[in-house]
């Protein structure tokens, strides 16, 4: 995870929009997605974001401009999912990213040729970047775990295993959708306060969760572990993730086996995967508070201690149907940072595979809700409204939990003095009314 010439802040692209201040996708970023022209029957294929454009990697492949290993990676990127490209490992992704950086620089000789391979992001539609075989959602924010635990168990908010083990549950990969996802309010069982018998119907406590998604690249064979010092070599990159939650269903069903219908109806990810290479300038040291247990040896390494944390700014905003109708933009509800996570990416990956579990290219790990230590850094309405006991003010209305028509928008970016800011785009999703029951 080293900073190299692709991170040089003096680099400029021949695509002018990539050089604008505050751009999510400067030449120092170059994230990957699956796209096609909106409304077309074109096959989905890989693309790289540069400014407000997409470089069509299938079209680029046909020009045979790169050395053979990069051409092989381009061939994998030309497919309807990025799974094969991810499986080629970090070295292949790094080589291709380096070639793309050179081809997109202002002095590149191929600039005139590649103009024809650009598609405006505004003219594109996106698919999931990978076929997601398995999805695991972690619980990596101790601030979120403590606040929610205090609502459920006032006398024992944080269970004793939390500081020792990265907690997670196995989610539902089939209901993961790309940004722009719309879903119907889920229906299920809930136990009203003070009642002895549950009732059935639409969720009344629908919530979002501000998370980071971690896409696995090269996997491991079943029965083998991933040592902590190798863990991030098995990670392709990161995206935004919203793990929608029906809190009333979740509270009734989660004991003794954990989440089920309260979590499996929808999860939204951003289309762009920012590679681990692009994130190299934004790493921070990892350290536990001295009073806390230190990680067991299999979850500890010099590399994790030196740079295991990612300084990634996160933001969640809400736009109601009323706000859209009146031309009002989404209102920011909270802002947090991935650096507040109690467990690092490497620790989550290593623990997931320590028992011989085989991770595969395209598998997705969720960070869990990334709340910070301040009330304004809460990553869910469950925290922002103190379990629904307080209201959040919006233009001409209020919220305790999500209403039909609400659109939730997640954003993220990394910035640091001496380096160019890079972003993740957005992950948005909209709540539709519950389906009529037969």
Tell me, letter by letter, the H, E, C secondary structure of 332-376: EEEEEEHHHCCCCHHHHHHHHHCCCCCCCCCCEEECCCCCCCCHH
Which residues touch 287 (CB under 8 Å, ≥6 apart)?
305
3-state secondary structure of 91: helix
- Shortest CA distance to 364 belongs to which of 175, 180, 133, 141? 133
DSSP H or E run through 61 = helix 57-61
Residue 86 three-state SS: helix
Question: Mean pLDDT for each 10-residue chunk of the chain (438 residues)?
Answer: 93 98 97 98 98 98 95 97 97 97 97 97 98 98 95 88 97 97 98 95 98 98 98 98 97 92 97 98 96 97 97 98 98 98 98 98 98 97 97 97 98 97 98 90
Predicted confidence at residue 156, as pLDDT, reads 85
Fold classified for 5-127? SH3 type barrels. (2.30.30)
Domain edges within the chain:
5-127, 135-432
Residue burial 335-355, b: 16+ Cβ < 10 Å; e: rest: bbbbbbbbbbbbbbbbbbbee
Residue 388's DSSP bridge partners are none
- Alpha-carbon distance 135 to 367, whole Å? 11
Confidence (pLDDT) at 1:
67
Q: Nearest 5°: phi and psi at 337?
A: -155, 140
pLDDT of residue 100: 98
CATH of region 135-432, choose from 3.30.1360.30, 3.20.20.70, 1.10.1840.10, 3.90.850.10: 3.90.850.10
132 — alpha (psi -120 to 50), left (phi > 0) or beta? beta
What is the per-residue DSSP string for 44-60? PEEEEEETTEEEEHHHH
Equal fold, 5-127 vs 135-432 = no
Q: Which residues lie closer than 8 Å to 40 by C-beta, 6 or more apart? A: none
Instruction: Report the relative pairing of strands 364-366 and 135-138 from DSSP bridges.
Output: parallel
Tokens linked to 294 = 């230190």
Q: Cα–Cα distances in Å, from 84 out to 36, 74, 79, 88, 362?
A: 19, 11, 8, 7, 9
**Could you say which of 143, 144, 340, 351 is catalytic?**
144
Distances (CA, A) of 338 to 80, 95, 141, 353: 30, 27, 9, 22
Query: CB of 268 within 8 A of CB of 402?
Result: no
Instruction: Return d(Cα 331, Cα 117) in angstroms, integer.
Output: 36
Q: Does residue 144 have an active-site annotation?
A: yes
Distance CA 181, CA 410 (A): 13
Give the chain's length.
Answer: 438
What are the Cα distances from residue 190, in Å, to 152, 169, 419?
15, 21, 49
């Amino acid at each position: 995870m080293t900073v190299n010439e692709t991170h040089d802040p003096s680099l400029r692209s021949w695509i002018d929009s990539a050089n604008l201040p505050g751009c999510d996708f400067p030449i120092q970023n170059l994230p990957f997605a699956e796209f096609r022209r909106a409304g077309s029957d074109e096959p989905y294929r890989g693309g790289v974001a540069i400014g407000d454009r997409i470089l069509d990697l299938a079209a680029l492949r046909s020009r045979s401009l790169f050395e053979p290993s990069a051409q092989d990676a381009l061939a994998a990127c030309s497919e309807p999912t990025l799974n094969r490209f991810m499986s080629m490992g970090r070295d292949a992704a790094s080589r291709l990213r380096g070639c793309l950086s050179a081809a997109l620089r202002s002095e590149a000789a191929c600039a005139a040729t590649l103009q024809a391979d650009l598609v405006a992001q505004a003219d594109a539609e996106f698919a999931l970047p990978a076929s997601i075989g398995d999805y695991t959602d972690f619980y990596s924010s101790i601030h979120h775990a403590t606040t929610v635990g205090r609502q459920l168990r006032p006398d024992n908010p944080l269970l004793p295993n939390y500081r020792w083990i990265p907690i997670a549950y196995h989610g539902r990969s089939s209901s993961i959708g790309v940004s722009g996802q719309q879903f119907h309010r889920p229906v299920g069982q809930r136990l009203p306060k003070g009642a002895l018998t549950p009732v059935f119907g639409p969720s009344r406590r629908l919530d979002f969760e501000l998370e980071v998604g971690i896409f696995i690249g090269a996997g491991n064979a079943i029965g083998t572990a991933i040592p902590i010092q190798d863990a991030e070599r098995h990670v392709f990159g990161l995206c935004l993730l919203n793990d929608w939650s029906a809190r009333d269903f979740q509270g009734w069903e989660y004991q003794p086996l954990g989440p089920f219908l309260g979590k499996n109806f929808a999860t939204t990810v951003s289309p762009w995967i920012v590679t681990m290479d692009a994130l190299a300038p934004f790493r921070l040291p990892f350290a536990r508070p001295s009073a806390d247990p230190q990680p067991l040896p299999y979850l500890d390494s010099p590399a994790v201690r030196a740079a295991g944390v990612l300084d990634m700014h996160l933001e969640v905003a809400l736009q109601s149907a009323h706000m859209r109708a009146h031309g009002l933009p989404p209102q920011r509800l909270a802002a947090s940072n991935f650096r507040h996570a109690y467990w690092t990416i490497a620790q989550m990956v290593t623990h997931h595979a320590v028992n011989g579990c085989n991770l595969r290219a395209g598998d997705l790990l969720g960070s869990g809700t990334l709340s910070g230590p301040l009330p304004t850094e809460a990553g869910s309405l469950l925290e922002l409204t103190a379990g629904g006991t307080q209201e959040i003010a919006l233009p001409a209305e209020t919220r305790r939990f999500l209403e039909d028509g609400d659109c939730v928008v997640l954003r993220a970016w990394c910035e640091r003095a001496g380096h160019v800011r890079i972003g993740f785009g957005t992950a948005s999703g909209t709540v539709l009314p519950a389906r009529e029951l037969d």
